[in-house]
């Protein structure tokens, strides 16, 4: 009988890791189901190719005031009671507070929980991973350093399956992820770098289009991997694009977004920079960015065994 697995993907990088793991499970004949945040049509489109997608309230976004969490959590909990049943053989939580409500319901219904920590955590475990660990059957870790933070199993970095061959398009790919990185965009816009592909996310692209008509500027793309595959260097915030760049062998410049105060910090980014042989830019200025891009071009990213392979095998044995 085919296993039935529910993947809980909170959007952005969490959806990225969920997509990578889901493709591996899908290849092994697992019947997949997905929960994504309400309004996250990009995640629904990406994951919907592999199974049915349903929407759930996300209690807290990166810029949502913390005191609003409880109200959103109660709503998510009520919705989860209706959405999650004993039909599933396991629920896989890809991180963020979005996973808490469905995990509690899964625990009450005795559905095994797979708790996946974020790959960007090195100094302190994420609150969600710590909270879910006691009720989880498996806690999956990306790096050996995370064994200091959680009692889990190191599976390795969860890499996406490459959908195209890497090539040299000659451009610098600049991205702020799902929530954008205005400081990075404004700073790179002040430089004299001409061959840039800029992904702005929710930040209005018009100023960058007007200021640099020679650039390619867009907000979102379901084929974002193609832009990574053709880049010369990837300049990104501290998120999942770093892991994707590894797959295509692209050097990376990491520019943490100071607006994100509830996520991994600069100390975590230093660990990641060493892991992927990237250049870290703690202070985002034009001169620092230009110098970092030049230095990154001289570097070669390391290769890793895909952690999705090991984690998929663990899930199938539950």
Q: Which domains does the chain have, with CATH numbers?
A: 4-154 (3.40.50.2000), 171-296 (3.40.50.2000)
Question: In angstroms, rounded to a whole number, what is the distance separating the alpha carbons of residues 6 and 47?
Answer: 12
The pLDDT assigned to 48 comes to: 95
Lookup: tokens for 165: 């061959």
Structure token digits, residue 298: 């001289």
Report pLDDT for 64.
65
pLDDT average per 10 residues of sequence, the chain (318 residues): 93 90 96 96 94 93 70 92 90 94 96 96 95 97 97 96 92 92 96 94 94 94 92 94 94 91 81 97 96 96 95 96
pLDDT score, position 66: 67
Give the model's pLDDT for residue 262.
Answer: 62
> For helices 12-27 and 307-316, what crossing angle results, to 10°?
60
* pLDDT on residue 63: 62
| All residues at 6 or more sequence positions from 291 whose CB lies less than 8 Å from its CB, including other chains | none
Task: Report pLDDT for 55.
Answer: 97
Query: Can you read off the two tokens belonging to residue 206?
Result: 């018009």
Query: How do 4-8 and 90-93 pair as beta strands?
Result: parallel
Burial profile 100-109: b = 16 or more Cβ within 10 angstroms, e = fewer = bbbbbbbbee
Residue 286 CB contacts under 8 Å (≥ 6 apart), including other chains: 187, 188, 190, 191
Determine how many CB atoms are found less than 10 A away from the CB of residue 202. 11
Whole-prediction pTM value? 0.90
């Amino acid at each position: 009988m085919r296993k039935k697995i529910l993947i809980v993907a909170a959007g952005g990088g969490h959806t990225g890791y969920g997509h990578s793991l889901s493709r591996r499970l899908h290849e092994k004949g697992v019947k997949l189901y997905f929960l994504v945040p309400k309004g996250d049509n990009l995640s629904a489109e990406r994951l919907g190719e592999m199974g049915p997608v349903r929407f759930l309230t996300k209690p807290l976004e990166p810029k949502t005031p913390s005191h609003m969490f409880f109200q959103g959590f109660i709503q998510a909990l009520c919705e989860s009671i209706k959405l999650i049943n004993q039909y599933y053989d396991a629920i896989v939580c890809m991180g963020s507070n979005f996973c808490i409500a469905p995990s509690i319901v899964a625990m009450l219904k005795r559905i095994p929980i797979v708790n996946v920590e974020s790959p960007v955590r090195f100094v302190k475990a994420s609150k969600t991973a710590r909270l879910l660990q006691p009720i989880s059957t498996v806690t999956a870790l990306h790096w050996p350093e995370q064994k200091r933070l959680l009692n889990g199993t190191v599976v390795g970095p969860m890499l996406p399956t490459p959908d195209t061959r890497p090539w040299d398009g000659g451009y610098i790919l600049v991205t702020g992820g799902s929530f954008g990185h205005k400081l990075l965009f404004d700073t790179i816009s002040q430089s004299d770098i001409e061959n840039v592909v800029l992904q702005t996310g929710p930040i209005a692209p018009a100023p960058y289009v007007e200021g640099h008509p020679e650039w390619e500027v867009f907000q979102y793309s379901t084929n974002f991997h193609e832009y990574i595959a053709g880049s010369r260097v990837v300049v990104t915030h501290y998120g999942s694009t770093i892991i994707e760049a590894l797959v295509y062998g692209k050097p990376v410049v990491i520019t943490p977004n100071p607006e994100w105060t509830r996520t991994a910090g600069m100390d975590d980014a230093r660990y990641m920079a060493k892991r992927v042989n990237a250049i870290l830019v703690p202070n985002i200025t034009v001169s620092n960015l230009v110098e970092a891009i030049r230095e990154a071009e001289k570097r070669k990213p390391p290769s890793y065994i895909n952690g999705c392979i090991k984690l998929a095998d663990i899930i199938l044995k539950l």
